[in-house]
Amino acid sequence: MNDKDYTTDTEKDIKKGRRTIQRIGIMGGTFNPIHFGHLVTAQEALGQFNLDKVIFIPTGDPPHKVGKDIASSEDRYLMTVIATASDKNFLVSRIETDRKGKSYTIDTVRELRKIYGTDATLYFITGADAILEILAWKNTEEIVSLCKFIAATRPGYNLSRMKGLEKKLFNSKNNKGEKIFVMEVPALAISSTDIRNRVKNNRPISYLLPGGVRSYILKHGLYG
């Protein structure tokens, strides 16, 4: 399959006029690089929230990570495809990879809502730290009205700040009901930052990420 044409099965069905009610997980992130923490988080969400599938969406040009050691959007997309290829419940979308200019969450959520329709339930899966920064995101109120959130945390994570955030999010009449679901994931101790530092310092990265992703990083000289 040509990577440029990597489109989710559901997107293809909808283009042909076959729309179904689904529970869709949206796993957005830089994936710089993708690792087992991301994959375990997606798998846990799939089971705990009875999702039909999880769509991984590597960011294109992330607006909040200027000047950081970020691999190209194409490299990050291809590593995500390699990491998820063996799981039929994991799909990868080029929505943000192919988007020109800065990549904002609101643009992606709007597009996915158009693709999957108003009957589908969208769950945006991200780390608890990112959820706590949500008020700094573009069009926060609209994002919250279009999808629910799964906040992935490490065991023992302090959730006290989450209550204050929920009060701010639910001031709008459009955002009633439970919107944030907390999910503990032990494997979140693995970090992309640590993996990049290990590559720079010639330290081992095996067992932190899929073997295919490790091979891609070394072959293309990423993060060295």
| Chain position carrying tokens 């909808």 | 14
Q: What's this model's pTM, rounded to 2 decimal places?
A: 0.85
Contact status, residue 126 vs residue 108, Cβ threshold 8 Å = no
Alpha-carbon gap, residue 38 to 42, rounded angstroms: 6
CATH number of 3-190: 3.40.50.620
Q: How far is CA 10 from CA 94, 107, 117, in A?
A: 14, 19, 11
**What pLDDT is stored for residue 2 in this prediction?**
43
pLDDT at 138 over 50: yes
Domain spans of the chain?
Answer: 3-190
Contact status, residue 95 vs residue 58, Cβ threshold 8 Å = no
**What pLDDT is stored for residue 102 in this prediction?**
81
According to DSSP H, which parts of the chain are helical? 9-15, 36-48, 73-84, 105-116, 128-132, 140-146, 160-169, 192-200, 211-220
Alpha-carbon gap, residue 30 to 64, rounded angstroms: 11
Residues 172-187 have pLDDT tens digits of: 555 556 788 989 887 7
Q: Structure tokens of 93?
A: 């979308």
The arithmetic mean of pLDDT across residues 7-21, rounded, is: 53
Percent of the chain with pLDDT over 90: 54
Residues 143-171 have pLDDT tens digits of: 888 999 999 988 777 777 777 777 666 65
